[in-house]
A and B are shown apart, each in its own frame.
Chain A
Amino acid sequence: MEIAFVGHVDHGKSTIVGRLLADTGSLPQGKLDQIRAFCEANARPFEYAFLLDALRNERAQGITIDVARVFFKSGGRAYTIHDTPGHAEFLKNMVSGAARADAALLVLDGHEGVQENSRRHAYLLSMLGIRQVAVLVNKMDLLDRDQGAFDALVDSFGRHLARFELVPSHWIPVVGRTGENLAARSGEMAWYHGPTLLEALAGFEAARPLEELPFRLPVQDVYKFTANGDTRRIVAGTVESGRAEPGDELVFHPSGKRSRIRSLEAFPGPGPAIVSAGMACGFTLEEPVYLARGEVAAKAGEPGPVCANRFRASLFWLGKRPLHSGRDYLLKLGTARVRARLERIVRVLDASSLEPRETPEAVARHEVGEVVLRLARPIAFDPGQLPPAMSRFVLVDDFEISGGGLLLEGLAEGVASGRAARFNQRPLVILLAQEGKGGAHDHGLDLALSDAGRAVYPLPALMAPFHKERLTRMAEQARLLLDAGLLVLLPVSEPRWTDLDALKGMLPEGRLKVVWIGDGPAPAGLHADLAVDPREDRTLSRAILRWTGVDAAEAVSPLETGH
């Protein structure tokens, strides 16, 4: 389990970590005595902080500690504590996921009270989306282990944290030097009934091993190498999480295409019986579905990824040119590669001072920000960092990787069009106005469109008289179907044009096409986008396919490669 350890300098981080190592029996044999003897010999008071320094200096002891990480075991669980050497490194490590934290401990000197970095670090935790946080109110000995003083701190700092939606799961009064309420309960703070630090740690939920998460495989490529009579069509990619085996049904996102795995391939064969997280693998499919690089394979029956084209994201910027809304960037996540724009900056911090900036217009080099990004087309991702590769992205500015971050959540409008992306179509309402009675079915139109791969919903024909009430209900239905990503056919017979104008006003902008089906030109009041002869149904279905197709220019480039 990965724990980030933050707090203002001198508030007692090193002391607490040192104590924790000592009290959980995680120290190399004789280490503690050695440091004690050293302190005595040099007439210095013993400090647990020295212990960490000493361990750091002999990195051969790597089992317990390395540059910025401390390892220990307790209650059958292995912990890695990520120390915070400096803001800039910390930020980069944290945001870049080099140090993926499942939870965080914030150390606060109860005597000195809340300091600048207490606030900043707390703010960072919230920005990075770390939800499991415990606050250690340290040096309670200097507050006479007094409950009133503790409560006052909890109250004032708690209110501050709530401002950025950070709600610690525990506030623990501790004395780092004596180890009170760290591994063992303090006898002198009987008023405290909450968990000790170790108990709080045990209560944190650990990230699950990657193999146990839902299956995710970003498609790297589809190979059809024909040399030596090879007829296999192999989908290649690296498994980011979960496992899969022949017979499993896969769903590809965002296209929504499905097929079962026929075989797992490898060279020299035979392929493995099962593939799991970390394996660069390849498989053939039962159905010859057309796939592009950037799609993500998930397993039917397991939770799928989110598809969206608008996101809230936290990112750090390394580019020489600041990130701003006037430029096009390339976003790369997994194997997807999409044009991206900065839509809005939510907040920005300077990475070394951690100073939030007022009304930022751009994210400059070495700054960290929370932003809203908009992509040219939806991609599949998994918020919440699990598996990490499914939420981590980089932004490319002018050929250079200039920033990286985490997608935190898909945003409303983007999620709706994500649903549409699953159907690989642009949702539209096609109003089919015609002279006689009869619906789309008569023309075989919905069948023709379904055959071409469109997800179609033909509404029953709307016939006169057109009460306001009926139109409103019809518009409501159409809006729902649009939101679900469908192509809606709405036949209308013998309409009065003014009634149709009212209907148009009730549908989302740009989501309605009006077709006149009849001999001769469309009536002027109809404002038809197209007029077709009832006998020429091909013209109509082709026009609708064109309107509802996903912009060809936005399709990903390398599709299938043959040799």
Chain B
Amino acid sequence: MHHLDQLENRSIHILREAYSSFRKLGMLWSIGKDSTVMLWLARKAFFGHVPFPLIHVDTTFKIPEMIAYRDRLVREWGLRLIVGTNHAALAAGDTFPSGKVDRITCCRLLKTEAMKTALAGGPGEEPFTGIIAGIRADEEGSRSKERTFSPRTRESDWDVDDQPPEFWNQYKTDFAPGTHVRIHPLLDWTELDIWEYIGREGIPTVSLYYDQGDGRRYRSLGCHPCTTPIESTAKNVQEIIAELSTGKLSGIAERSGRAQDKDDAGGLETLRRDGYM
């Protein structure tokens, strides 16, 4: 079986396990390439349907093209979308760099807190018990310690050192009341796999990933104040695959354009213990 088919089949299996195991299930959709591949896999797993809502945490600082792309797919693919925004923090000016907090705090308020609120469900609704997220083990150190089904406490805390074993496609689908489980169908994919799969399947992506003529492109998408493009002349999927295959970028972390990863040593791990994706 082809490598990409193997990855695809495994991810579909995981998505279906998640759907069978959790009463209240949602999928985090960042609009980026990974979670859009995951969305595509969900449509394959459920034969053209996406039988759970997508949750997009909108900091209101996203690059406008991302929002236009998001709304177009919602319309065309018949998706249910929940948008989580921390209006209180925005109103109070607790933002970075425009407001009065530092970068990591801004991330925590506009992303982690907004997400926690969205995951708690609307008024009178049950909280989500299963949350599908498109992280990959090769992205960044703390993510390589993840499990496919990763339990979180009620406060969304992640106990890195006491994780359940996973073997033989048997995952943690049983959980104590008040806790929830993060499901990671893309854990075994690499950045190159993602691009090869996007190319093979013809999955629509935001044009920000491609060089528009100024010799720069985004490798990872986020909020515009804290995300910078990389030097690259890759203008389409095939050129990105070529670029990744030559190892030209191998010395540069994929998320190097994402400032929150660097602010303190282990910045992302700190955020992640706290519930960040």
Contacts and interface: CB of A to CB of B under 8 A. Distances in A.
Interface of A: 96-98, 220-221, 223, 225, 227-228, 230, 232, 234, 236-238, 265-268, 278-280, 282, 293, 318, 330, 332, 335, 388-389, 392-394, 396, 399-401, 404, 558, 561, 563
B276 interface: no
Interface in B50-107: 51, 78
Interface in B138-185: 164-170, 172, 174-176
B47 A234 contact: yes
Contact of A230 (B44, B49, B164): B49
Given A238-B9, A278-B6, A280-B9, A404 B47 contact: no
A332 B9 CA distance: 20
B170 A266 contact: no
A332 B47 contact: no
A230 B9 CA distance: 23
Nearest to A225: B49
A400 B47 contact: no
A225 B47 CA distance: 9
Contacts of A318: 165
A293 B20 contact: yes
B19 interface: yes
Given A278-B9, A280-B16, A293-B20, A404 B44 contact: no
11 contacts: A98-B167, A220-B20, A221-B16, A266-B47, A280-B9, A332-B170, A335-B20, A399-B175, A400-B174, A561-B19, A561-B51
Contacts, number: 95
B24 interface: no
Contacts of A394: 167-168, 170
Contacts of B21: 558
B168 A220 contact: no
B1 A278 contact: yes
Nearest to B6: A278
B8, B10, B12, B48: most-surrounded residue (chain A CB, <10 A): B48
Contacts of B12: 238, 280
A400 B12 CA distance: 24
Nearest to A219: B20
B168 A97 contact: yes
A429 B166 CA distance: 45
B133 interface: no
B47 A282 contact: yes
A363 to B, nearest CB: 16
Interface of B: 1, 5-6, 8-10, 12-13, 16-17, 19-21, 43-49, 51, 78, 164-170, 172, 174-176
Contacts of B174: 330, 396, 399-400
Contacts of A399: 172, 174-176
B169 A389 contact: yes
A280 B47 contact: no
A278 B10 CA distance: 8
A232 B48 CA distance: 12
Contacts of B48: 225, 228, 230, 267-268
Given A238-B9, A280-B12, A232 B164 contact: no
B165 A265 contact: no
B168 A236 contact: no
A401 B16 contact: no
Given A96-B167, A389-B169, A227 B49 contact: yes
A276 to B, nearest CB: 9
Contacts of A237: 16
A404 B16 contact: no
Contacts of B172: 399-401
Nearest to A278: B1
7 shortest A-B CB distances, which residue pairs? A280-B12, A225-B49, A394-B170, A267-B48, A280-B9, A399-B174, A563-B51
A216 B20 CA distance: 19
Contacts of A396: 174
Contacts of A228: 48, 78
A389 B168 contact: yes
Nearest to B23: A558
A223 B169 contact: no
B45 A280 contact: yes
A234 B9 CA distance: 17
Contact of B43 (A223, A238, A267): A267
B44 A401 contact: no
A267 B44 contact: yes
B47 A227 contact: no
A317 to B, nearest CB: 11
A224 B93 CA distance: 47
A404 B10 CA distance: 21
B109 to A, nearest CB: 32
A396 B166 CA distance: 12
Contact of A227 (B6, B8, B78, B168): B78
A404 B166 CA distance: 10
Given A236-B45, A266-B44, A280-B9, 16 more contacts: A221-B20, A223-B49, A225-B48, A225-B49, A228-B78, A267-B44, A267-B47, A280-B45, A389-B168, A389-B169, A394-B170, A399-B174, A401-B166, A401-B170, A404-B167, A561-B51
Candidate in B17, B78, B168, B172 with the most chain A CB atoms within 10 angstroms: B168
Given A221-B20, A238-B13, A332-B170, A401 B47 contact: no
A292 to B, nearest CB: 11
A263 to B, nearest CB: 11
Contact of A392 (B6, B10, B20, B168): B168
A261 to B, nearest CB: 15
A404 B46 contact: no
Given A399-B175, A399-B176, A400-B172, A563 B13 contact: no
Given A230-B49, A266-B44, A392-B168, A221 B19 contact: yes
A220 B16 contact: yes
Contacts of A293: 20
B16 A236 contact: yes
Nearest to A239: B9
A394 B164 CA distance: 12
Nearest to A563: B51
B165 A401 contact: yes
Contacts of B47: 223, 225, 230, 232, 234, 265-267, 282
A389 B44 CA distance: 23
A97 B17 CA distance: 21
Contacts of A266: 44, 47
B170 A563 contact: no
Nearest to B48: A267
A335 B21 CA distance: 11
Contacts of A227: 49, 78
A280 B16 CA distance: 9
Contacts of A265: 47
Most chain B Cβ neighbours within 10 Å, of A278, A293, A318: A278
Nearest to A294: B20
A332 B45 CA distance: 22
B170 A404 contact: yes
Contacts of A223: 46-47, 49, 51
